[in-house]
Amino acid sequence: MKVTELVAQFAQPIVESHGCSLWDVEYVREGSERFLRLYIDKEGGVDITDCEAISRAVDPVLDEKDPIAESYHFEVCSAGLERALKRPGDFERFMGSPITVKLYRPRNGLKELPGILRGYEDGRVTVEAGKETITFEKSEVALVRLRVEF
């Protein structure tokens, strides 16, 4: 089992007991440092108090379970307004929302396409961009994230 899956298993009930939901777990290397990040969400938005409380509650469990051999920094963050959509449930929840699709290779000269999320099936993402409806295959899509319009 991957580190992120293991951490998600024991962190999710703790996060939920604080009135939040666990959006994502990330374990990444940035320069010479490693970071374990929990991304959390809740109705009305997450604030610093939520992040601190969950960090304090999860930290001793991380020490006890010790899922990562090397040293790392532990952070709890808001999922953010322009969060990445990863799981089928994310796409269902935000159907009809403004998104940005980032592609591995340019399509019609564009590597990023803003639009409205209109469909998601087996990794294929359908976007309404202006008067056009475009479906991207899973293999073309590097990232899909929500887009905030002001």
Count up the domains in the chain and report the number: 2
For the domain that residue 115 is a member of, what is the CATH number? 2.30.30.100
Quote the domain boundaries for residue 41: 3-78
What is the DSSP code (8-state) at residue 102?
Answer: E
What percentage of residues in the chain have a pLDDT greater than 90? 89
pLDDT at 57 over 90: yes
Q: What average pLDDT does range 93-107 have in this prediction?
A: 95
Task: Indicate if 12 and 72 belong to the same structural domain.
Answer: yes
| pTM as predicted | 0.80
pLDDT at 149 over 90: no
Among residues 116, 110, 107, the alpha carbon closest in space to that of 136 is found at: 107
Read off the pLDDT of residues 59-72 as tens digits, 9 standing for 90 and up. Answer: 999 999 998 989 99
Domain boundary (60, 78, 96) is at: 78
Distances (CA, A) of 39 to 8, 30, 52, 120, 139: 10, 17, 12, 23, 25
Read off the pLDDT of residues 122-146 as tens digits, 9 standing for 90 and up. Answer: 999 999 999 999 999 999 999 999 9
Distances (CA, A) of 104 to 99, 108, 114: 16, 13, 15
The answer as to whether 83 is a domain residue is: no
Task: Indicate if 126 and 72 belong to the same structural domain.
Answer: no
- Beta-ladder partners of 36: 27, 74
CA atoms of 149 and 59, how far apart (whole Å): 36
Helices (H) and strands (E) in the chain, counts: 3, 8
pLDDT at 28 over 90: yes
Spatial CB neighbours of 7, under 8 Å, sequence gap ≥ 6: 25, 27, 36, 38, 62, 67
Q: What average pLDDT does range 3-21 have in this prediction?
A: 96
What is the DSSP code (8-state) at residue 139?
Answer: G
Task: Indicate if 63 and 100 belong to the same structural domain.
Answer: no
DSSP reduced 3-state for 70: coil
Task: Indicate if 135 and 95 belong to the same structural domain.
Answer: yes
CA atoms of 24 and 39, how far apart (whole Å): 5
The pLDDT score that the predictor gives to residue 27 is 95
Q: What average pLDDT does range 101-111 have in this prediction?
A: 93
How far is residue 112 CA from its own chain's centroid?
Answer: 18
